[in-house]
Amino acid sequence: MTIDVLKKNNLILFEGISGSKAYGLSTEKSDTDIRGVFYMPKSDFYGLNYIPQVSNETNDIVYYELGRFIELLSKNNPNILEMLATPEHCILHKSDLMNDIKVSDFLSLLTKDTFVGYALSQVKKAKGLNKKMFHPIDKERKSVLDFCYVVENGKTIELHAWLTANKLNQENCGLSKLNHLKDTYNLFYDFKDDLYNGICSGENSNEVTLSSIPKNTTSSILLYFNKDAYSTYCKKYSEYWEWVSKRNIDRFQSNKMHGKGYDAKNMMHTIRLLQVALKIFKEGKLLIEVENRDELLEIKSGKYSYEEVVKMADDLIVDIEHYYEKSTFMTAPDLNKIENLLVKLRLKLYN
């Protein structure tokens, strides 16, 4: 099933422009995002070919099958609820059947958890970006040796520094484990290249290497491998360079230029989403076109510090909680009513 197939077979029930252009926040560089609803042909729906979602490669055009659309509405998914509030000038196609799907049948107290929950996840993500932008990790990956320390004459010395000072090679070292001491070893040295196995077997090794030590060989030198610190580093290294490979270069450069250490565009939409949630509980309305375009675009431009934007989010959440306590919304959507609605829509389509 492809988008072309949906269009050629007149399977699309709803199609609209979403994202910044629907919110009234678009600029010259804004892309056009499309969201829609389709239905499966009767034979595919009853057979083995059910497909819940169809999209293009970049995911900026996405269509949800009717059943999946209704399911997500029943969970008060923010992105899906907003489709029901698409401004008239952004609606490209709408079947009469879609008029039976009313916002009032879905808005519930769950909205607080879904809208605010999503917003909080974005604030947390912004904190992570802040760390990544201002604490970059070198591309050259550290090895086990960088987390090893030598204890000699009561002093702790970094392994690399100790080897350099004594003009020694790690390949000529041998380690034997010490009982009852975690990640601590006796260190031996011999100038014969083939006597010991070295401290680690290679740059990609994640462990120190033990050697067979001849009897009666003594050592007054201890080696400590900070394995916990090495494991933490490996995790951060992997996460950082995965982020680098997937990041949007234009947005990264923009965020770097304003120097506030957060994804300004993402935080703009986080504040916008919280404002939508506040209007839901304060006025009982789901409206997605913004009334404060300039203020939101100032957030996007990096006018405010990360702390100031987080304060905006916190203040909105306090207000949402206040009106949530007074709300007369149902606790959750009536699933029996929604199921009957879906059955009714299917019968209209297939009869």
Q: What is the arithmetic mean of pLDDT over 163-168?
A: 94
Q: What is the arithmetic mean of pLDDT over 155-168?
A: 94
With 80 as the cut, is the pLDDT of residue 253 above it?
Answer: no
- pTM for this predicted structure: 0.66
pLDDT number for residue 264 = 82
Q: What is the arithmetic mean of pLDDT over 241-258?
A: 60
Residues 196, 260 contacting (CB under 8 angstroms): no
Q: Is 330 left (phi over 0), alpha (psi -120 to 50) or beta?
A: beta
Measured between alpha carbons, how far is 336 from 340 in angstroms, rounded to an integer?
6
Model pLDDT for residues 183-231, shown as the tens digit of each residue: 999 999 988 778 899 999 877 889 999 999 998 888 879 999 999 999 9
pLDDT number for residue 351 = 86
CA dihedral 45, 46, 48, 54 (to 10 degrees): 0
Among the residue ranges 22-26, 116-120, 128-132, 323-327, the one predicted with the least confidence is 128-132
Candidate ranges 115-119, 253-257, 320-324; pick with highest mean pLDDT: 320-324
Percent of the chain with pLDDT over 70: 93
Model pLDDT for residues 12-71, shown as the tens digit of each residue: 999 999 999 999 999 888 889 999 999 999 999 989 889 999 999 888 999 999 999 999
With 80 as the cut, is the pLDDT of residue 249 above it?
Answer: no
Q: What is the arithmetic mean of pLDDT over 60-83?
A: 96
pLDDT number for residue 255 = 47
Of the pLDDT bands very low, low, confident and very high (cuts 50, 70, 90), residue 96 is: very high
Cα distances (Å, whole numbers) of residue 160 to 149, 164, 192, 219 = 8, 6, 20, 19
pLDDT number for residue 261 = 54
Q: What is the arithmetic mean of pLDDT over 289-296?
A: 95
Q: CA geometry: angle at 317 spanning 59 and 124, to 5°?
A: 50
pLDDT number for residue 127 = 59
pLDDT number for residue 295 = 95
| Residue 30: alpha-carbon gap to chain centroid | 21
DSSP E strand boundaries for 26-130: 33-38, 53-55, 61-65, 91-94
Measured between alpha carbons, how far is 196 from 348 in angstroms, rounded to an integer?
79
Residues 30, 21 contacting (CB under 8 angstroms): yes
pLDDT number for residue 257 = 47
Candidate ranges 116-120, 213-217, 218-222, 317-321; pick with highest mean pLDDT: 317-321
pLDDT number for residue 243 = 76
